[in-house]
Chain A
Amino acid sequence: MLSDIALLLVGAVLVNNFVLVQFLGLCPFMGVSNKLETAMGMSIATTFVLTLASVCSYLTYNYLLLPLDLTYLRTISFILVIAVVVQFTEMVVRKTSPLLHRVLGVFLPLITTNCAVLGVALLNINQAHSFIESLFYGLGAALGFSMVLVLFAAMRERLAFADIPEPFQGAAIGMITAGLASLAFMGFAGLI
């Protein structure tokens, strides 16, 4: 049981990393990685939302949609669940930590459209995960996302001082770096 969960976590963080291997959630990955500080804030918010949304969508699917034979409604229901979780998180963050709210700014509502969140919810159903497995799969996906986001933000902060040829400056070098990082993560493919 414990080794299963460890495998699931390692699988979601490294082998099937949501950003660099499955290419989900690229929008916040490119958008928030300019500064290490915002990347960390975004990571924390996404971790919270992703884990909670994973669990909530599991509950919705298994206790509402499955008994009523409505599995074809899963996408729209999950979008609703994710939107509510994000909105709820935003309210809590705004009340408890106005500074974090200011740092995250527009990116907190943008988690709603982070396809990694919907991806985790749908993959949980496709791979027939149990409740505990869903929880850890969501957590693993979030940790993988956070790790890659923070690493990439650190790289981009250094890139800001690098001597880059003019045609490659700005977003272009960011994309190239992301591609190289993705290649590096392909190396984990045979791990499990």
Chain B
Amino acid sequence: MVNWLVNEPLLAALAALILLGSVFGALLGYAAIRFKVEGNPISEQVNALLPQTQCGQCGYPGCRPYSEAIAEGDAINKCPPGGEETIQALADLLDVEPQPLDAEHGVEKEPVVAWIREDECIGCTKCIQACPVDAILGAAKVMHTVIADECTGCDLCLDPCPVDCIDLIPRKQGIGFWHWPLPADRFRPIEVIATDAATRTAA
């Protein structure tokens, strides 16, 4: 075979280049499958560090869009709910200098939870539509209430309420309110509720 090819220089050149091309093509094709990267791994890691309040104070519609913006090079100090702690964690992850919180986007507050004064609620469902994490239960003309565990304290439900019956009360902190994270396999991996993401990373 080799002897025959040496006598046919044109065919030999073609064969050699085709062989090289196909071997390297196969190698790269295999590598593309073997080393496949799903999504943008930086934005995934950033998203895991953000508090998932979906409050929009950073100027983006939620935590994931903001994490994508950070991966593209946006500033890391636009998240008031996360506060200094989140900025520090992001600075460590991205290997940049931590900056103080940008006051333009709000100030750091203690963790709060929404509370509906139930006698005053007229059942308009406006707060249900505003809630980014589906933490409000209720139906039309029936009293609503907040699922405290799901509420992120983002205050987006305050403005739509026509009778101003929603308060933000400080979330009780302390060892009595801590509970074990639920086993991760109990949930199907769906991202309907934002706090699911936090549960899975914690477990």
Point out the residue from A70, A88, A99 that lies within 8 Å of B28, measured CB to CB.
A88
The reply to whether B20 and A80 contact each other, CB–CB distance below 8 Å, is: yes
Cβ-based interface call for A67 (8 A): yes
CA distance A84 to B42 in the complex (A): 25
Cβ-based interface call for A69 (8 A): yes
Cβ-based interface call for B5 (8 A): yes
A69-B95 contact given A77-B17, A80-B20, A98-B41, CB 8 Å threshold: no
Cβ-based interface call for A68 (8 A): yes
The reply to whether B20 and A77 contact each other, CB–CB distance below 8 Å, is: yes
CA distance A98 to B44 in the complex (A): 11
CA distance A67 to B5 in the complex (A): 10
Cβ-based interface call for A129 (8 A): no
By size class, the interface of chain B is: 20 to 34
Which stretch, B31-39, B161-169, B186-194, touches the partner chain A?
Answer: B31-39
Query: Which B residue's beta carbon lies closest to that of A93?
Result: B35
Cβ-based interface call for B12 (8 A): yes
CA distance A87 to B6 in the complex (A): 32
CA distance A120 to B35 in the complex (A): 28
A94-B37 contact given A68-B6, A69-B9, A73-B17, CB 8 Å threshold: yes
List the A side residues contacting B20 at CB < 8 Å.
60, 64, 77, 80-81
Cβ-based interface call for B19 (8 A): yes
List the B side residues contacting A102 at CB < 8 Å.
42
The reply to whether A70 and B12 contact each other, CB–CB distance below 8 Å, is: yes
CA distance A81 to B37 in the complex (A): 24
Cβ-based interface call for A158 (8 A): no
The number of A-B residue pairs with CB atoms under 8 Å apart is 60
Total chain A interface residues with beta-carbon distance under 8 A: 22
Tell me whether chain A's interface is mostly helix, strand or loop, or mixed: helix
The reply to whether B17 and A69 contact each other, CB–CB distance below 8 Å, is: no
Give per-residue flags for A18-33: 1 if the beta carbon is below 8 A from chain B beta carbons, else 0. Answer: 0000000000000000
Point out the residue from A73, A95, A98 that lies within 8 Å of B13, measured CB to CB.
A73
Point out the residue from A69, A84, A94, A98 that lies within 8 Å of B27, measured CB to CB.
A84
Interface centre among A65, A77, A80, A88 (most CB of B within 10 A): A88
The reply to whether A84 and B24 contact each other, CB–CB distance below 8 Å, is: yes
Q: Chain A's nearest CB lies how many Å from the CB of B69?
A: 14
CA distance A73 to B17 in the complex (A): 9
Cβ-based interface call for B203 (8 A): no
List the B side residues contacting A92 at CB < 8 Å.
31, 35
The reply to whether A69 and B6 contact each other, CB–CB distance below 8 Å, is: yes
CA distance A88 to B5 in the complex (A): 31
Give per-residue flags for A154-167: 1 if the beta carbon is below 8 A from chain B beta carbons, else 0. Answer: 00000000000000
User: Known pairs A69-B6, A87-B28. 15 more at Cβ < 8 A?
Assistant: A60-B20, A64-B20, A67-B2, A68-B2, A73-B16, A81-B24, A84-B24, A87-B31, A88-B31, A92-B31, A94-B35, A95-B36, A98-B41, A98-B45, A99-B95
Q: Can you name 19 A-B residue pairings with CB atoms under 8 Å?
A: A60-B20, A64-B19, A67-B2, A67-B6, A68-B6, A68-B13, A68-B15, A69-B9, A70-B12, A73-B17, A77-B20, A80-B20, A80-B24, A81-B24, A88-B27, A91-B32, A92-B35, A98-B41, A98-B42
Give A residues with C-beta under 8 Å from B.
Answer: 60, 64-65, 67-70, 73, 76-77, 80-81, 84, 87-88, 91-92, 94-95, 98-99, 102
